Structure 1
Amino acid sequence: MQKIKVTIWNEFRHEKNDLPVKAIYPAGMHRAIADGIAAEDLEIRLASLDEPEQGLPDALLASTDVLFWWGHRFHAEVADALVEKIQRRVLGGMGLVALHSSHMSKIFRALMGTSCTLICRVAGERERLWTVDPSHPIAAGIGRCIELEREEMYGERFDIPDDGHLIFNSWFEGGEVFRSGVAFQRGLGRIFYFAPGHEEYPTYFHADILRVLGNAARWAAPVLPPQELRCEKVPPREQLGRAR
């Protein structure tokens, strides 16, 4: 069995510098996700912002089938050159799973081509993620909704492109709604944005959230060998009808 190579990238600073967050995720949110989705068909590697080459040296990125990305406060520190490399890999077939505040990451905004802005509020309110498309592979094994006791509110309008496929739609205790699980295609790469995952709450220990993320890793895996998309001059397949 050929394993799907998953790299989970995380800023990994909240967990080191914020004691309440460290108490929930002492080894980092990326480790909690890795442990929660671990399976025979996934080969999982971890990466973080403060590692050499910001955690993604060329060899690791080139061998990644699906890249998970958790970012929040330090989007600006991610090197533009790295963002360009990731974008090329996604267009060539690598999958991307953008988590929580990664809606404002350089890579997600570059691939969406929009501001990706929204409204938000941290008030520890109940969230229900309603399964809009239960037939989608990412929703496999998920019931009518996922209920989280506490999460950060993200609300509309969410400025993302209209070509996204809606899988989950959230309702929050304060009354707002939000497109919280949306799938996209860019080039040959599949992208899934999934909103839950504020660092102050134990969201990445919730069984259904982890099931969604495991499903996303498998759905986003490349279906073709990696390619460099470029314009090509090609000869005609049929004989042209007149002299040139």
Structure 2
Amino acid sequence: MIRVTIWNEYVHEVVNPAVAEVYPQGIHNAIAAGIRNESFSIRTATLAEPEHGLTEEVLNETDVLLWWGHRAHDEVRDDIVDRVQQRVLDGMGLIVLHSGHCSKIFNKLMGTKTCQLKWREADEKERLWVIDPSHPIAEGIGEFIELPKEEMYGEHFNIPVPDELIFISWFEGGDVLRSGVTYSRGRGKIFYFRPGHETYPTYYNNDILKVISNGVKWAAPSQTAAPFYGNTAPLEPIKAK
């Protein structure tokens, strides 16, 4: 059983009626309902909860954390960001969705102060091309996923060179983006997945939910030994010179 925590700042849905109409129970609950299966144990957490719902106990009981944020990045406490970072380094998986590219946790793990890109809201068609059809995150997906309307994100995307590139998005206006990329940090695996603007029903799309579900399985911790750092004794005798 993979233990999943879906974190959503849950601000847009409260203050914007147009978003509430699309996601009346919040983006976090839409994703939870869409990926729920017998192999996942799912809980949710939001910004307004004590410690943003990400207490040490919750994170210690989380194998994979999903992160959706947008207008309240600066309201996330730095000590909570540090806590999440340490869990990723210790092996917890992290899936960063849509505008989470500007979140404190993603920027911290990428080692940069900004992961900026171009953007535009114009009800554009998006086609997400599968660049690596052999990758487990793309399992069950055809050559591409087509979304009739989405927010455009375009290059240049100011991220480090990815370990793996799985999806590239093309938009009706001509822009493209590396929209599905992976990284490893410490013992943890990270997947950034672009789609999911709050005013579109993207998180009801079966292919998008399939990718997220595949991402959870891929990012789940591996049972590897924790690395040791610092001064260490030799494994073999060292002959005197």
Q: Which TM class, normalised by the smaller chain length?
A: over 0.9
Q: Is the 8 A contact 1:93 1:226 kept in 2?
A: no
Amino acid at match of 1:57: T
Q: Is the partner of 1:98 in helix, strand or coil?
A: strand
Residue aligning to 2:165: 166
Q: How far did 1:109 drift? A: 0.3
Q: Which amino acid aligns with 1:127?
A: E
Q: Deviations over 1:111-141 (max 9, x none)?
A: 0113211000011110000000010000000
Q: Secondary structure at the match of 1:232?
A: coil
One-letter amino acid of the structure 1 residue matched with residue 56 of structure 2: D
- Measured after TM superposition, the shift of residue 225 of structure 1 is 6.3
Between the aligned partners of 1:169 and 1:123, the Cα distance in structure 2 is 19
Task: Give the distance between the partners of 1:16 and 1:225, measured in 2 at CA.
Answer: 41
In structure 2, the residue matched to 1:84 is 82
> Is the CA contact 1:94–1:226 (under 8 Å) kept in the aligned structure 2?
no
Matches within 5 A, 1:112-131: 112-114=110-112, 115-131=114-130
* Residues 92, 226 of structure 1: 8 Å contact kept: no
Amino acid at match of 1:56: L
What's 1:209 paired with?
Answer: 208
- Counterpart of 2:16 in structure 1 is 18
Moved over 6 A (4+): none
The corresponding residue for 2:59 is 61
Cα distance in 1 for partners of 2:204, 2:57 equals 30
Q: Which residue of 2 aligns with 1:240?
A: 238
Partner of 2:197: 198
Q: Would you say 1:107 and 2:82 are equivalent positions? A: no
1:9 aligns to 2:13 (yes or no): no
Residue 223 (structure 1) aligns with: 222
CA distance in 1 between counterparts of 2:155 and 2:218 reads 26
SS in 2 for 1:53: helix
1:45 is paired with a residue whose SS is: strand
Q: Aligned equivalents of 1:230 and 1:73: distance in 2?
A: 39
CA distance in 2, matches of 1:61, 1:226: 20
| 1:148 counterpart residue number | 147
Map Cα deviations across residues 168-191 of structure 1 (whole Å, 9 max, x no partner). Answer: 000000000000100111111000
What's the TM-score, normalizing by structure 1? 0.96
1:198-244 alpha-carbon deviations (Å, 9 max, x no partner): 000000000000000000000000002695x662322111111117x
Out of 132-141 and 113-122, give the one that drifted further.
113-122
Distance 1:226 1:28, change over 3 A: farther
- Counterpart of 2:50, as a letter, is P
Residue of structure 2 equivalent to 1:29: 27
Distance 2:224 2:60 in 1: 12
Distance, in Å, in 2 between the alignment partners of 1:10 and 1:226 is: 31
Contact residue 118 and residue 156 of structure 1 kept, 8 A: yes
Q: Which runs of 5+ in 1 are unaligned?
A: none
Count of residues paired in the alignment = 240
- AA aligned opposite 1:192: F
SS of 2:37's equivalent?
Answer: coil
CA RMSD of superposed structures (Å): 1.2
Distance 1:10 1:235 in 2: 45
CA contact (8 A) 2:167 2:180 kept: yes
In structure 2, the residue matched to 1:98 is: 96
Cα-to-partner distance string for 1:35-75 (whole Å, 9 max, x where unaligned):
00001110000000001111111100111100000000110
Q: Please, what TM-score do these two structures have when normalized by structure 2?
A: 0.97
Report the equivalent of 1:178. Answer: 177
In 2: Cα distance, 1:195 partner to 1:37 partner: 17
Percentage of pairs with the same residue: 56
In structure 2, distance between residues paired with 1:233 and 1:200: 53
